[in-house]
Amino acid sequence: MTLARTDLGTLRGVAEAGVVKFRGVPYASARRFAAPQPVAPWSGEWDATAHGPIAPQPASRLAAAMGDYARPQAQDCLTLTIATPAVDAGQRPVIVFLHGGAYLSGAGSLDWYDGGALAAEGDCVVVGVNYRLGALGWLHLPGVAEGNAGLWDMVAALRFVQAHIHAFGGDPAQVTLAGQSAGAHAIMCLLALPETQGLFHRAVLQSTPASLPPHSSAQATAHAQSICDLLGVPSSALHDLPVERLIQGQMLLARSLATFADATPPLLPVIEDLADPSDFIQAAATAAAARNVKLIIGTTREEMHAFFVPSPAMQTPDAKDVDARFAGIAGDALAIELYRRRRPGADVAALLGDLVTDDMFLFPSIALAQATDAAGGTAFLYQFDWAAPANRFAACHCIELPFVFATFAAWPDAAMLAGGDAREMAGVASAMQRAWTSFARSGDPATPGLPWPAYTPVTRATMIFDRVLGLAGDPAGAAWRGGFGG
């Protein structure tokens, strides 16, 4: 038993595998759709040895690749999971992690994201954040829900870290905000908010769907009204509607918006001035440079394989739908031939996966790195290429997560890892952890034997994480940009 004494009260954690873990640490409370409020001080010891509930949510849409999880769910879910090498005055760098899940699913308290190994590897404090999801976190309907509740949850978590992380052996002046997928997208939004000035000092953006700008108020309001219409309830009923019905409504909205070979979430943050992809990328880059927030930005080689490979719609897709998707993104349906040359013998699902990976993740991430450099900031680019031999999911969305956290035992049902060599995986994980914690400590992810210079449009330096690690020049391959659409 280990105690952490904060200004709010004392928390009791548990020592495990050389680190101390505090679970279910309350950082805020909130009424439905309302902004989070600070936690009131308590007397006695807060039992932080067990996880609290996670945000209400549907099943993960990537369970076929990642496996699944089951945890108690409740609206009162605003808690942190903290792993530290020691509860002392160590002033260690802090990594705060925002999970992905399309703003619909996931939790920072899942064993997938256990920060113990990362904390031990880098002598740092690792914090996982539970924030509100789906309609509870992102519904925007004037007079009912102002929207961005989940984003303000993240701000509240960062404020808690600033005020109290010293009690867990952390340094509030060395906070790295890391996020994957929706979590990385949220970091771009947080950079654009003046309220986050000084709350974090570096950022790691893993698999950011940077091509998806926040919603405008009108767009978000229309989506919220659609939920009401699909459920057959007036907007005034949303405050008291059972959570299960709200989740049903958001999934009905998702199905009503679904289009072929697309994975756009139905609910997103709402930032009126940034509802354009170029403006969104430029705003994040400009803010990062102005605040001197150095960035690590990266993608996996086959992000969309996790979405498309198991999809029944992708097994025998209509040729007209395929042509329309290639024409819509690349400017010409014949662009599929360029992708076929790059991936000989691939089926249509894999080719569509490459196309949407480039459009949603890779090219916008490179654009963000370029815009950051142009604004006078610093960005380090990577691509994760490791894939288990003969695995149909390849280097898909989320596959880097068990490597960053070295939590392979927590992923027993992850088909994306099946057949991987344990020794090789442990080696890649160690390299990523050293890079991430070096960046958190110094702002430089380079480690002995693995130089990693900042990205510039001239060098296009990109760290490749694979069976052999090292720098590459241009990860984009420019499949359709070279021949179609400019």
pLDDT tens across the length of the chain (486 residues): 699 999 999 999 999 999 999 999 999 999 999 999 999 999 999 999 999 999 999 999 999 999 999 999 999 999 999 999 999 999 999 999 999 999 999 999 999 999 999 999 999 999 999 999 999 999 999 999 999 999 999 999 999 999 999 999 999 999 999 999 999 999 999 999 999 999 999 999 999 999 999 999 999 999 999 999 999 999 999 999 999 999 999 999 999 999 999 999 999 999 999 999 999 999 999 999 999 999 999 999 999 999 998 988 888 899 999 999 999 999 999 999 999 999 999 999 999 999 999 999 999 999 999 999 999 999 999 999 999 998 999 999 999 999 999 999 999 999 999 999 999 999 999 999 999 999 999 999 999 999 999 999 999 999 999 999 999 986 554 444 444 433
Query: Of all helices (H) and strands (E), which one includes residue 93?
Result: strand 92-98
Distance CA 453, CA 207 (A): 20
Paired with 47 in beta bridges are: 12
Question: What are the φ/ψ torsions at residue 156 (nearest 5 degrees)?
Answer: -65, -40
CB 18 within 8 A of CB 43: no
- With a CB cutoff of 8 Å and minimum separation 6, the contacts of 307 are 61, 62, 263, 353, 397
Catalytic residue among 105, 109, 181, 438: 181
Q: In 257-400, at which residue ranges do the beta strands (DSSP E only) sit?
A: 294-300, 379-384
Give the three-state DSSP class for 41: coil
CA of 107: how far to CAs of 55, 78, 119, 211, 249, in Å?
Answer: 7, 10, 19, 24, 21
Q: What is the pLDDT of residue 218?
A: 97
The Cα–Cα gap between 349 and 339 comes to: 12
Q: Do residues 190 and 156 lie in contact, with contact meaning Cβ atoms separated by under 8 Å? A: no
| Both structure tokens of 437 | 């914690």
Catalytic option among 303, 305, 365, 400: 303
Q: What's the confidence (pLDDT) of residue 70?
A: 93
pLDDT at 315: 85
Tell me, yes or no, if 397 is annotated catalytic: yes
Residue 473 has what pLDDT?
Answer: 81
CA distance 98 to 113: 10
DSSP code of residue 144: T
Residues near 234 by beta carbon (within 8 Å), at least 6 away in sequence: 228
Distance (Å, rounded) from C-alpha 455 to C-alpha 375? 13
pTM of the model: 0.96
Instruction: Give the ranges where 235-290 is alpha helix by DSSP (H).
Output: 243-257, 277-290
pLDDT at residue number 1: 60
Q: d(Cα 271, Cα 191) in Å, to the nearest integer?
A: 12
Q: How many Å apart are CA 236 and CA 228, to the nearest integer?
A: 9
Quick check: is 311 catalytic? no
Question: Which among 323, 461, 405, 469 has a CA at the least distance from the CA of 108?
Answer: 405
Q: Could you tell me the residue ranges of all domains in the chain?
A: 2-214+270-303+356-472
User: Which of 160, 153, 173 is closest to 91 using CA atoms?
Assistant: 173
Among candidate residues 105, 207, 397, 438, the one labeled active-site is 397
Closest C-alpha to 103, from 267, 296, 336, 343: 267
Cα gap 274→191, rounded to integer Å? 12
Q: Is 293 helix (H, G, I), strand (E, B) or coil?
A: coil
Residues with Cβ within 8 Å of 26's Cβ and at least 6 positions away in sequence, in order, are 39, 46, 52, 78, 79, 80
Length of the chain equals 486
- Between the CA of residue 223 and those of 104, 220, 238, 239, 459, what are the distances in Å? 15, 5, 14, 17, 43
Tell me whether residue 442 is one of the annotated catalytic residues: no
Please identify which residue in the block is written with the tokens 């091509």: 211
pLDDT at residue 474 in the model? 60
Q: How far apart are CA 62 and CA 59, in angstroms?
A: 9
At residue 313, the pLDDT reads 85
Q: What class has domain 2-214+270-303+356-472?
A: alpha beta
